[in-house]
Amino acid sequence: MELLVSLALLVVGLVIGFFVGRFFQQKQGAGNSAQTEKHVKEILAQQAQHHIHQTRQSLESIESQCDVLKQQIEEYEMLLTQGNDSEDSKVPFYGEQATTYLRNNLKKSDKARVKRVADTQPRDFANSGSGLFVGRSEQNNAEKQ
């Protein structure tokens, strides 16, 4: 029985303590809600200022990149216009010189080639002639001419 009385007193004490705590919390909460709202507004204002600062920095960096890009485009256009204007004053393309050089060398190499007679057989490079490739003096003279 003493156990039931002590448990009942404990439950009654917890219920009374809960309501008393809630009353004091509401009383302090009314005063703190104004301070809390003020504190939240200050934090939001600071965050807004920080956001504006970062946005301005981003905008400035984008503007500087745009300026650099404009300068590069202008330089590129100048190079293109200079390239078109000064084509006549430049040295001719090396391909012309190369083609004349090749033509001259090919003519010399054509002359240097041995004109072969269609009826003669190719030379036999073995030490001693054998079979069809036995060298004859008539064919050697024809190949030399």
CB under 8 Å to 126, separation ≥6 — which residues? 133
| pTM beyond cutoff 0.85 | no
Full pLDDT tens readout for the chain, 145 residues: 788 888 899 999 999 999 998 888 887 776 777 788 899 999 999 999 999 999 999 999 999 999 999 999 999 999 888 866 555 555 556 777 777 888 888 766 555 555 555 666 666 565 565 555 555 555 555 555 5
Which residues, including other chains, have CB under 8 Å from residue 115's CB and lie 6 or more apart?
A: 145
Whether residue 143 contacts residue 123, with contact meaning beta carbons closer than 8 Å, is answered with yes
